[in-house]
Every structure is written in structure tokens, then in C-alpha cells.
Amino acid sequence: MGRTLILTDDLARAERLARNLGADGDVALHDLYGRASPPAGAALVISDVSALTSESVRRLREALATVRGPATPFLALVHGNLGRGEIQATALGATRVLPASVAAAMLMNAVATMTGGRIAAPAGTLRAQAGEARDAFALMFRADCAPAPAIVETGAALVNRAVREAKIRDWLRVVESFDDVTHRHCLSVAGLAAAFAGTLGLKDSDSRHLVKGALLHDIGKAKIPLAILNKPAPLTPDERLEMDRHPALGHDMLRGETYDPLILSVVRSHHEFLDGSGYPDGLRGRDIPDLVRLITICDIFAALIEARPYKAPKSVHEAYAILERMGPKLDADLVRAFGPVAVACETPVRATA
């Protein structure tokens, strides 16, 4: 890719950002409050401004008018309130918006995607890739606000790439080591969704859509009391009623944002069954979109093979047999199509001498 230009109000922070990009010096820094004019000819413009005040927005607008061509991508890093910053950055014409706190590999992936470059591999191993995805999910899973679409997009790209480059059983093994039960479950479902997309031969855009739905499917649990969410024992009937509110809570969180209707359907309807016995709306058959049916299968399978303080994990064979026995509740064709994914989750038995 060509030169990257960082527009900043803090040169020391921008220098650290440039090092994180690993661009081998092919980065120019411009102090928004300095006297010099910004250099022209950038292939990518990044803004890294600590506070988008009226003055900084004015200066950014002037700088962008000078350095940005019609096809030049513009990545805005937001400090502080992400929702407000996203609105301001979008008004400035940002191609993409990310929180300034994103991990280095997430930032590198975003930059590589925007410039048509090769997505950089996080330092090290599948564990590092899964750690980046966990960082992205931690930014999403907050009770005080809906997750920014940019973070969900980045998280989905990380999961898709990791599962494409590794085996699904290895992804599940790494994710299994994470502490937080909800993080662990949603990343497992996302990995299974990515593997399922590959088995079904979905194109990249559909695969990303599926994985985004998987990452967000339990977002309503961010509003469930932690005493219930992390209870190391089966839930009481009253606690189960509270837990069962999470699809509607998640839907309410997201519906005022820019998420498309299919993603909203995944969040609200991933516990619906084709025979009408699910919740929260008792949907039947055609009322349940294919994307939701796919996520439901991944969700149930992940829950069955996961260890919890109050239950031992099912084997892959047992979990898939349960899916088959659920009969009219699930889409039988999709359950059959999921078979190779389930098999790929098995840990091979080592031969003994």
C-alpha cells in the first residue's frame, strides 16, 4: 500500500500508532494544530484526535479537503464516547470508524482491508488471533450502549480468517481456555458459524454476515444480572425467566442502530424453533429466516459441547445426535449439512504403539 497519513493532535501518540501499524516508515504525521500544511498524496488517511471539538472538527475538515482524493479511504479513530464520535466521523466522510483503544492487530486488519492490502497476521499463533477476537467481543459486550458496527465487522473478519487458516477444533480448544463463559460461548458459536459457512460454500460477504450474527446473538445477556449470568449452578425457574429475556433485550439494544433486519432477527429469534415451541415470539416455519436457523444450530451445538460448572461437556458425537433427535424443531437439511462441521470438531484419537 502507499503512504499513510495520520492527522493528530498528539504527535507522540501518533508515533506510537505508526509503530503499531508496522509500516516501515511509510507513514507521515501531521499535527492538526501546527503551522505546516498537511502533505498530499496519501493512500490512506487516519485521524487520531483525542476530542472532536468544534475546533478540531473544523481543522480536520480543512485538512481532509487538502489531502483526500475522491477514492482515498479515511479511517477515524475515536477517543471517548464511541456513539457520538461515530456520528461526527461519519459527518466528516469517514470510510470506517474504530475506537482508538482497539488492539494493534485489529487496527492492522482494518487498514489492510481498506487499502486492499494483505491482512496482517497477528503476532504468533491461533491463540493470538483468538485473543484479538476476544478483545473485539469485550468491546461489543457492554450493557451501557449498543456495539459499534465497525467493531462487529472487525471481530467477524478476525474469526473468519482464524477459522479459515486453522481447524475448527483448534479454534474451539483455544476459546475453551478463556475465563468468561459468555465470551467463550459467543466466540465458539462464531467459529462454528464460520466453519459452517465454509461447508455451505457461502461467499465471503455472506460468511461475514453469518459470523456477525453469531457474535451478536447473545448481546442481550449484557443486560442480565451477573449473579444469574455467571451462576455456577442450574438456574431457578425465576432466574430462567430472567435469562430468557435476553433475546428481546438484545433486539431492543440494536434496533435503533444501523444493523440490518436479518442481524436483528438473529438476535431476537435464535431460540425460536420451527414447530413454534421456541421463544420469545413462538415463531413457526417460514417465519424463521435461514440465517437464524443456521445460528440456532451452531448455538445449540456449542452449548452442548461446552463445559459448565454444573455440567460436563457432551462429546461431539452425542451433541450432533441430540441435534438430529430434535426433529421438527430444527431445519433437517441444515442439520445434515452441519454434519461435516461437527465431525471436524472431533479431537483425533492418537494411535498408540
| pLDDT the model gives residue 3 | 83
Q: Give the model confidence (pLDDT) of 128-183 as tens digits.
A: 778 778 877 887 888 778 888 878 888 888 898 889 888 899 999 999 888 788 88
| pLDDT the model gives residue 106 | 62
Domains defined along the chain, listed by start: 1-120 (3.40.50.2300), 124-353 (1.10.3210.10)
Exposed, middle or buried: residue 275 (CB in 10 Å: 0-12, 13-18, 19+)? middle
| pLDDT the model gives residue 305 | 96
Other CB atoms within 10 Å distance of the CB of residue 323: 22
Pull the grid cell for residue 163.
Answer: 477459522
Confidence of residue 126 (pLDDT cuts 50, 70, 90): confident
Q: Is the pLDDT of residue 25 over 60?
A: no
Round to whole Å and give the CA distance between 292 and 305: 20
Round to whole Å and give the CA distance between 22 and 19: 5
Per-residue pLDDT, averaged over 30-59, amounts to: 89
Instruction: Tell me what the pLDDT averaged over the chain comes to.
Output: 87
Confidence of residue 348 (pLDDT cuts 50, 70, 90): low
Q: Is the pLDDT of residue 122 over 50?
A: no
| pLDDT the model gives residue 102 | 66
| pLDDT the model gives residue 325 | 97
Q: Is the pLDDT of residue 351 over 70?
A: no
| pLDDT the model gives residue 220 | 96
Q: Is the pLDDT of residue 350 over 50?
A: no
R_g of the chain computed on alpha carbons: 22
Residue 245 CB contacts under 8 Å (≥ 6 apart), including other chains: 220, 224, 280
| pLDDT the model gives residue 82 | 66
| pLDDT the model gives residue 105 | 57
Q: Is the pLDDT of residue 123 over 80?
A: no
Concatenated DSSP letters for 308-352? BTTBPPPPHHHHHHHHHHTGGGS-HHHHHHHHHHHHHTSPPPPP-
Q: Is the pLDDT of residue 1 over 60?
A: no
Q: Is the pLDDT of residue 258 over 90?
A: no
Supply the pTM of this predicted model: 0.71
